[in-house]
Structure 1
Amino acid sequence: MNEGKMKIILIQNTPYLPTKGGSDKSNKLLLESLAILGHECFIIAPATSLQTPGGFERFSTLVNEKNPDFVNANDDRIAFGINGVTIHALKKFSRLPEHLGRVFAEEKPDWIFVPSDDFAQVLLEQAVKLDALKVIYLARTTLTLPFGPDAYLELPKKAELVKKARGIMCVSRFISDYIYKWSGARSSVLPISLYGNGSFPDYGSFENGYVTMINPCAYKGISILLALAERFSAVRFLAVSSWGTSSEDIAAMKQRDNITVMDAVEDVELVYKKTKILLVPSLWAEAKARCIGEAMLRGIPVMASDVGGNGEAKCGTDYLLPVNQITKYEYRLDQRKLPVAAVPVQDVYPWRQALERLLIDREHYMNLSKASRSSAYDTLIKDNGVERVEAFLHGLMENVAGRASAAAKKEI
């Protein structure tokens, strides 16, 4: 479906490279998929952050390693093309709103996509100022929303900005319901976290692999990982550090001889091909953990916490396990500039039971591996591609055009 070429700008507050976090991967795949359909797509992002060592020089090296279609650099930014998408990476984070205004004036886009990962909603505020009728808000995280009990900061004026957006696309029914309950804004659940073309290797293996956790940190339930590693001392665990993992988290994991720690990588196959079971013991209101779908599509059984949208990600398969959810955050930031969570004590017994069965019952493991792969494909891939996003955007454009036509006739 392509009822007319659209021009789309996505602006994010995290670097485009390296692409390791779930939201950043989803932004990248969404724009690349729309570009494949023939739409003209741009991403505006900072070149570096506190979590990307090496500065701008290292970023330039990463760009060249990607064999970009073109590279065009000046004193303020480096522009390059990858997979049909034009990326503007700015040297200074503070220039993002200004640069969005400049590109908006030059390119005259049909849409501005603004992910919800900005606590202060600075990028959303600029986009709304430029043209609220062209703003699409991508809701993927409750913590950074400006309203509701699971948000770090409740900011009524910023909440009004969300309601001014022309459309809100949500990653899960959970976050769509949350937005309506706490802001009154209506939204649409759409496949804004895409997984690929449906061709995935099958890594389900009862005999080999680690019990893996991605992004071990307070939010994601590192306390449960540490407790399980202590209980199952003969089992090999793999911890993939990412945006939430602090130096204290790494130190705690390295005290366990059976936990191997590795840095996050762009190529997820390097993690999943080593994985026997994936742990996702999130303690915050997870909108819909991307890694659940990634693992299940590859035949890897997932043990996930029963919070937020994780139930939707699990597609009806075992195991969805109880946790005591985080309900409070301190008014201070950690070394990674993230809110410090007040983490409740956890009952690890249900997790111990589930892990033990998957480790000792081969038939059960293989049945769950097969069911996970099949259910994930049917739910996340089949009839759930980027065409649904494209149709949604075309529908919004038709509604605007229809109202404009009706208004013109009324004037006559």
Structure 2
Amino acid sequence: MRILFATTHTYLPQRVGGSEASTHDLAKEMLAQGHEPAVLCGLSTGDSTWLRNRVIKGISRKHFPADTFRPYRVFRGYEVGAAAIHEVAASFKPDAAVVQAGHPVPLARALVAAGIPTLLYFRDVVFDRLGGEIQSHPLLRFVANSRFTAAEVERSFNVKAEVIPPLVHSTAYATTRRPRYALFINPVASKGLETVLELAKRNPDIPFLLLESWPLGDEARRSLTRQSATLANVELRRPTLDMKNVYHGARLLLVPSRSPEAWGRVATEAQFSGIPVLASKIGGLPESVGHGGLLVPPSAGIDAWHQALRRIWDNPEQEQALSRAATEYAARAEIRPERLIADLLSVLGQIQPLPPPPSTPKV
């Protein structure tokens, strides 16, 4: 089966976030099972991916040419919309599509208009960025990355979404550890940057690693650099695809999100290496963290976060117990790749292609 994953966002390596990592892992697992995936995505300027795209575009005369430096094709271009769907569908000829992230609704409409069975995969609950109203169609189904997300989708749109958690390949993240620092991934305000910086200020004996994920503008990066420079125990790193190296030194993972997370993929990644997670009890995080960490109520202040951090850092028995629980929780059947692919294909299989229009009798 040929499956097209479509988003208006940029994609790896230009954007390194949970949605992109999950799509990459899905694509790799589908390849392993004999399917042919591809990705349609946006394009940003000024890096080697952009330069490569310009060269391929000049040769192919396509607005959305495919690069193949990954084991599957990635079609990149500007303003991903109906025209992009038309061009890529004509070239790739997908049997089905999955739209997600960015503004997925216009993409879903274009795909079903082209007769392509489509899944709209809800990976967050920021519904004002969908790009339009959710409308039913015989070729459209819905999936969500957590029970929390599915409940929010049903409450907001009165549609049911099958729950399929993000696919995370343990081989890309599991590593032996030399625990040294408290790890915080994606240092932006909505993910709890203010909380982490205050924890670093209150705990000068604890090293903190802040790893960039989402693209930061120049001003945001300058501000983050200034803030972290005032704290001797804080290291700031640029985005990387080598997450094993990052988790190798992590003693615990901080996820103090201020707004509801639909899932919290980094919790699953960390738990493959037995890393305890200290997270907000909000959104889908209780599902992704499970008993492999501690949860802090969203209404709690910085004192509660400080106490929870010291409870793990200063108590080896507590830390080891949470580490064992994290490893155990990461091995649960419901997030194993083979099951997630089977569930995804099962939902796609429920979509019946529309019959061809009746032929016009010859006169």
Structure 1: gaps (5+ residues): 1-5, 64-71, 147-152, 325-345
SS of the equivalent of 1:160 reads coil
Mapping of 1:59-78 within 5 angstroms? Answer: 73-74=60-61, 76-78=63-65
Partner of 1:104: 89
Equivalent residue in structure 2 for 1:30, among 6, 26, 32? 26
- On the 8 A contact 2:8/2:80 being kept in 1, the answer is no
Amino acid at match of 2:345: E
SS of the equivalent of 1:159 reads coil
Equivalent residue in structure 1 for 2:213, among 242, 255, 264? 242
Partner of 2:336: 381
Equivalent residue in structure 2 for 1:56, among 44, 50, 68? 50
Moved more, 372-381 or 279-288: 372-381
1:16/1:73 Cα in 2 relative to 1: closer, same or farther (>3 Å)?
farther
Mapping of 1:33-182 within 5 angstroms? Answer: 33-48=29-44, 53=47, 56-57=50-51, 73-74=60-61, 76-81=63-68, 84-90=71-77, 93-94=78-79, 96-118=81-103, 121-131=105-115, 134-143=117-126, 145-146=127-128, 158-161=132-135, 166-182=140-156
- On the 8 A contact 1:137/1:162 being kept in 2, the answer is no
Are positions 1:280 and 2:255 aligned together? yes
Distance 1:85 1:125 in 2: 24
Structure 2: gaps (5+ residues): 359-363
Partner of 2:361: none
Per-residue CA deviation, residues 221-254 of structure 1 (Å, 9 max, x unaligned), is: 0111011001101211000122165222332222
Partner of 2:157: 183
Distance 1:199 1:77 in 2: 29
Number of corresponding residues: 350
Per-residue CA deviation, residues 67-101 of structure 1 (Å, 9 max, x unaligned), is: xxxxx7546344233564222222xx125531211
Are positions 1:307 and 2:292 aligned together? no
- On the 8 A contact 2:187/2:211 being kept in 1, the answer is yes
TM-score (normalised: structure 2): 0.86
- On the 8 A contact 1:304/1:320 being kept in 2, the answer is yes
How much has 1:54 moved relative to structure 2? 5.8
1:257/1:60 Cα in 2 relative to 1: closer, same or farther (>3 Å)?
farther
Are positions 1:367 and 2:361 aligned together? no
Distance 1:249 1:82 in 2: 32
Amino acid at match of 1:137: L
How much has 1:36 moved relative to structure 2? 1.9
How much has 1:121 moved relative to structure 2? 4.0
SS of the equivalent of 1:87 reads strand
Partner of 1:68: none
How much has 1:385 moved relative to structure 2? 3.6
Distance 1:251 1:13 in 2: 32
How much has 1:294 moved relative to structure 2? 0.2
- On the 8 A contact 1:7/1:40 being kept in 2, the answer is yes
1:294/1:95 Cα in 2 relative to 1: closer, same or farther (>3 Å)?
closer
- On the 8 A contact 2:176/2:273 being kept in 1, the answer is yes
Distance 1:382 1:30 in 2: 8
- On the 8 A contact 1:203/1:273 being kept in 2, the answer is yes
Are positions 1:201 and 2:155 aligned together? no
1:124/1:109 Cα in 2 relative to 1: closer, same or farther (>3 Å)?
same
Partner of 2:302: 348
Distance 1:53 1:76 in 2: 18
Amino acid at match of 1:272: Y
Partner of 2:266: 291
- On the 8 A contact 2:75/2:88 being kept in 1, the answer is no
How much has 1:109 moved relative to structure 2? 2.3
Amino acid at match of 2:194: S
Distance 1:182 1:95 in 2: 26
- On the 8 A contact 1:8/1:111 being kept in 2, the answer is yes
TM-score (normalised: structure 1): 0.76
1:60/1:350 Cα in 2 relative to 1: closer, same or farther (>3 Å)?
farther
How much has 1:106 moved relative to structure 2? 4.3
**With CA pairs under 8 Å and 6+ residues apart, which has the higher RCO, 1 or 2?**
2
- On the 8 A contact 1:163/1:185 being kept in 2, the answer is no
Amino acid at match of 2:168: Y
Per-residue CA deviation, residues 337-382 of structure 1 (Å, 9 max, x unaligned), is: xxxxxxxxx6111111111121111111111111101111115338
